[in-house]
Amino acid sequence: MNTRKKVVVAMSGGVDSAVAAALLQRAGYDCVGVFMRLGNDPAEQAEELVACSPEKQAAAARENDAGASLPLHKPHKQGCCSTSDAADARFVAGLLGIPFYALNFQHDFGGIIDYFVREYNAGRTPNPCVRCNEYLKFGKLSRYARAVGADYVATGHYARIVHETDGASRLLRGRDPKKDQSYVLFGVPRDEIARMLLPIGDMEKPEVRRIAQEIGLPVHDKPDSQEICFVPDNDYGRLLKSKAPERLAPGEFIDASGAVLGRHEGHQHFTIGQRKGIGLAFGHPVYVTAIDAQTNRVTLGEKESLFRRRLRAREVNWILGDPAGPREALRCRAKVRYNSEPAPATAMMTDRDELTVHFDEPVLAITPGQAVVCYGADSDEVLGGGWIETAQP
């Protein structure tokens, strides 16, 4: 009887997920590689991806001299989930000798794009990567894993999972502070944390690339994706215009007093804290300090006016466990964007199931639509978080 634990590994075609699969296989897990086909490029949708047996994949690898002549990770649009990424993922699976499947998540991913457009039209700045993890990687993919009898879902995220002997599971920041991705995992339901494996969370990026090179994975030097996968060339304004052209309209730049400073092509083109690309010259730096979707007005001001000490968040997800109850203060460190450091704060649930966070010191550019994630006051553990609704002085 095969007693090995079965793992569905989300393989994006990058080096991180490739090494994650290799490490799990080395540790004795029964791995199945899965590529989530999102269908974000109509031209690429015509190219079918089919499930290959390990034997067929290995044969393809041998025919291509273990990747020496295969044009892997050729230049293409940034992001992930393109056909060339799928080819890279499938080729790595063949080298490792594990089954590989491409799952069509196009319909479900359409909901992520709709959310993206809806948030910008509402004057907020969305974070589709967090939603994708919540709804797809550890949502629909987890359900697929259960359907095929898998015990775990694994990814190449830079975060750590600790499975305690008493059955509890904890989510921690990645060991590499420059690559830590625990922020984008805060929305994963608590019961799914127990079914997660994050094999590279204890590593730094150079070590991951070194392992990939040592075991002959041709993606060892593949560049990291930098842009949102469904926004080619990072031109999200074009996407918004194609999805809801009637919502983009010229509006006014104003200052804090309401005085008109100039015109813009739609509030959706801006985010709180933005300095570049405003299109006006004042002889000194100015920043977007507020966005009013109802009036289509964008407020500009000095950097000092961007600091806030308090926020309110909705759609709260507690990983560690709910606080004792409303009005119970919880000391923590909280971060309000992916690339910021957690700052000392006090978190509290309200009677309306909303989360308020009071920072000890003012924080720059708290942005509605982004997530606030709470960590332990003196630890790297993710306690939970929510989606920022408002920020107050």
Average pLDDT over residues 216-226: 87
Q: Are residues 221 and 322 in the same domain?
A: no
- Strand pairing of 152-154 and 159-163? unpaired
- Separation between Cα atoms, residue 390 and residue 385, nearest integer Å: 14
Same domain, yes or no: 39 and 69: yes
SS3 of 347, please?
A: strand
> Which tens digit of pLDDT belongs to each residue from 15-68?
999 999 999 999 999 999 999 887 645 444 434 333 344 444 444 444 434 333
Burial of 227 (C-beta count, 10 Å sphere; 0-12/13-18/19+): middle
Whether residue 235 contacts residue 41, with contact meaning beta carbons closer than 8 Å, is answered with no
Helix (H, G, I), strand (E, B) or coil at 109: helix
b/e sequence 114-148, b meaning 16+ C-beta within 10 Å: ebbbebbbbbbbbbbbbbbbbbbbbbebbebbeee
Residues near 13 by Cβ (< 8 Å), separated by ≥ 6?
Answer: 35, 73, 80, 81, 82, 84, 85, 86, 87, 88, 89, 92, 219, 222
Does 237 map to a domain? no
Domain carrying residue 211: 6-232
Q: Give domain status of residue 239, yes or no.
A: no
> Which residues, at least 6 apart from 151, have a Cβ–Cβ distance to it below 8 Å?
5, 6, 7, 195
Mean pLDDT computed over every residue of the chain: 86
Residue 283: phi, psi to the nearest 5?
Answer: 85, 0
**CATH code of the domain in which 292 resides:** 2.30.30.280
pLDDT value, residue 380:
95
- Residue 1 counted as domain residue: no
Query: Distance between alpha carbon 193 and the CA centroid of its chain, in Å?
Result: 16
So which residues are the catalytic ones? 132, 229
**d(Cα 317, Cα 10) in Å, to the nearest integer?**
23
Distance of CA 52 to the CA centre of its chain: 28
User: Are 146 and 277 found together in one domain?
Assistant: no
Structure tokens at 253: 């730049």
Cβ count within 10 A of residue 393: 8
Q: What is the pLDDT of residue 81?
A: 59
* Cβ proximity of 296 and 349 under 8 Å: no
Q: Are residues 297 and 310 in the same domain?
A: no
d(CA 87, CA 93): 10
Q: Does any domain span residue 286? A: yes
Residue 361 lies in a domain: yes
Give pLDDT, residue 326. Answer: 63
Give yes or no for residue 290 having a pLDDT over 70.
Answer: yes
Q: How many distinct structural domains can be found in the chain?
A: 3
- 166-177 pLDDT, tens digit per residue, is 778 999 999 998
The CA distances from residue 103 to 130, 150, 154, 229, 380, in Å, are: 20, 16, 16, 17, 34
Q: What is the pLDDT of residue 230?
A: 80
Residue 363 lies in a domain: yes
Are 202 and 351 members of one domain?
A: no
- 21 and 119 housed in the same domain: yes
The single-letter DSSP state of residue 342 is P
Last residue of a domain, one of 232, 265, 289: 232
- Report the pLDDT value the prediction gives residue 327, as an integer from 0 to 100: 65
For 198-213, write each residue's pLDDT tens digit: 999 999 999 999 999 9
pLDDT at 232: 66
| Domain of residue 327, CATH code | 2.40.30.10
Instruction: Determine the residue type at 160.
Output: R
- Residue 134 sits in the same domain as residue 47: yes
Residues 282 and 382 in one domain: no
Does 281 score more than 90 pLDDT?
Answer: no
pLDDT higher than threshold 90 for residue 9: yes
177 and 112 inside one domain: yes
Interaxial angle between packed helices 83-96 and 15-26, expressed in degrees from 0 to 180 and rounded to the nearest 10: 20
Q: For residue range 68-120, what is the model confidence (pLDDT) as tens digits?
A: 333 344 444 444 556 788 899 999 999 999 999 999 888 888 899 999 999 99
Per-residue tokens: 166: 């008493």
Query: Is it the case that residue 2 has pLDDT exceeding 80?
Result: no
CATH number for the domain including 112?
A: 3.40.50.620
Q: What is the pLDDT of residue 233?
A: 72
For the beta carbon of residue 223, count every other beta carbon within 10 angstroms.
10
Residues present in the chain in total:
393
Q: Please report whether residue 325 resides in a domain.
A: yes
